[in-house]
Amino acid sequence: MIETLTILGSTGSIGVQALDVAKLMGLDILALTSNVRTDILENQIREFHPKYAAVADVAKAAELKIKVADTDTEILAGGEGVLECAGLKADCVLNSLVGIAGLAPTLAAIEAGNNIALANKETMVAGGVLVNRLAKEKNISILPVDSEHSAIFQSLQGCADKKQVKKLILTASGGPFFGKKAHELENVTAEQALKHPNWSMGAKITIDSATMMNKGLEIIEAVRLFDMPEDKIEVLVHRQSIVHSMVEYTDNSVIAQLGVPDMRIPIQYALTYPDRFVSPVKELDLAEAATLTFSKPDNETFRCMDYCREALRKGGLYTAAVNAANEKANELFRHGRIKFGDIAKCVERALSFPADNENYNLDDILELDREIRMRTEADI
């Protein structure tokens, strides 16, 4: 079992729940990072006593440094401070940063020889080829924290040969607009889209769930985490969020991972693998759950999944392109500058951008990300 842990994005939903797990496990917290939420970070510093803490916002970092001057925690500032925390030697770095901002810290953590508990799906979406290459070179493990990929990872335990896998089945809650058609969603607000039926998540991820873009990103992530072709990854809408994902084998048997919708289960498994420990999560009562339903997703209304599949087929930097367009469009929608349906249109336009470079590095990914964001905003 690990002893020292760094959490990137400790003030977000995943980060807060990861600290719940770390407290139960008695882990030593080496470093914590946040973007701007220094009020929460200050409380975390006082409770968990990390050696380092970083705030991406430089001004906020300066304020926090004064507030926690009575502690032994060293405060680092800016993106460089986050990278420094990621590169500290720990048993594990849990990356729960939001968006492509998580990519460079993931690479820094791997470069330092740290195993990764990955909750930042954009790391694998935008830069998975680079991440996998470096992880192999450094001989480190990347363990998924996303509930769906953790479920697949758990369902693959005991699989002797990947050739025995027929397909991976990602489950989706369907978000707040399940059953709606495109014309019914023309004037929905961000407030409506943020009302997820099952999960407590940050704003960006919750909007991604409403558009089903999150499932498109998870298809890309599954391809890169499990080295599976895109056409062997299926999506089923499962409104109860009890079956977190499944693996179907060549003999047509299906192995699934079930549990109440609580992210502390996959967080803890990523930190304790291959062992299991007592969890703070309540026991699943299948009699109480009563009915588990599954249905095909509505790809005509929720088109982002198909655009993500197309990006995978096109190769190059197209997965980074659709990710960048979605991140910007998601932000614009949350600020009331575009309509809900415009998010998918922005993602589709990114597929027309020249992004077929196959020999790319981190700078290429970040430059394309900046260009796509600017074009997305300019096109509204």
Nearest residue to 6 via CA among 132, 152, 160, 113: 113
The answer to whether 377 and 325 are in contact (CB under 8 A) is no
Burial class (CB in 10 A: 0-12, 13-18, 19+), 359: exposed
Among 27-36, 66-75, 146-155, 188-197, which is the least confidently predicted range?
Answer: 188-197
The answer to whether 217 and 308 are in contact (CB under 8 A) is yes
CATH 3.40.50.720 fits 4-144, yes or no: yes
Residue 346 has pLDDT above 80, yes or no: yes
The DSSP letter of residue 258 is: E
Q: CA dist 142 to 94, 139, 271, 362, Å?
A: 10, 10, 11, 19
Quote the pLDDT of residue 1: 75
CATH topology classification for 303-380: Rna Polymerase Sigma Factor; Chain: A (1.10.1740)
Rounded average pLDDT over 11-15: 95
Burial class (CB in 10 A: 0-12, 13-18, 19+), 17: buried
Quote the pLDDT of residue 197: 76
pLDDT digits 0-9 by tens, 303-316: 999 999 999 999 99
pTM of the model: 0.95
Quote the pLDDT of residue 32: 98
Residue 272 has pLDDT above 80, yes or no: yes
pLDDT digits 0-9 by tens, 218-270: 999 999 999 999 999 999 999 999 999 999 999 999 999 999 999 999 999 99
- As given in the structure block, the two tokens for residue 370 are 């900046």
Biggest alpha carbon distance in the chain? 62
Quote the pLDDT of residue 153: 98
Sheet holding 4-8: strands in order across?
Answer: 74-77, 52-55, 28-34, 4-8, 92-95, 115-118, 142-144
Rounded average pLDDT over 314-332: 97
The DSSP letter of residue 183 is: G
Band of residue 377 on the pLDDT scale cut at 50, 70, 90 = very high
Q: Which residue has the higher pLDDT, 362 or 197?
A: 362
pLDDT digits 0-9 by tens, 178-208: 999 999 999 999 999 998 777 667 889 999 9
Residue 50 has pLDDT above 90, yes or no: yes
Domain locations in the chain? 4-144, 147-259+285-299, 303-380
The DSSP letter of residue 182 is: G
Nearest residue to 96 via CA among 81, 86, 84: 86
Q: CA dist 358 to 207, 240, 244, 316, Å?
A: 30, 40, 33, 5
Residue 126 has pLDDT above 80, yes or no: yes
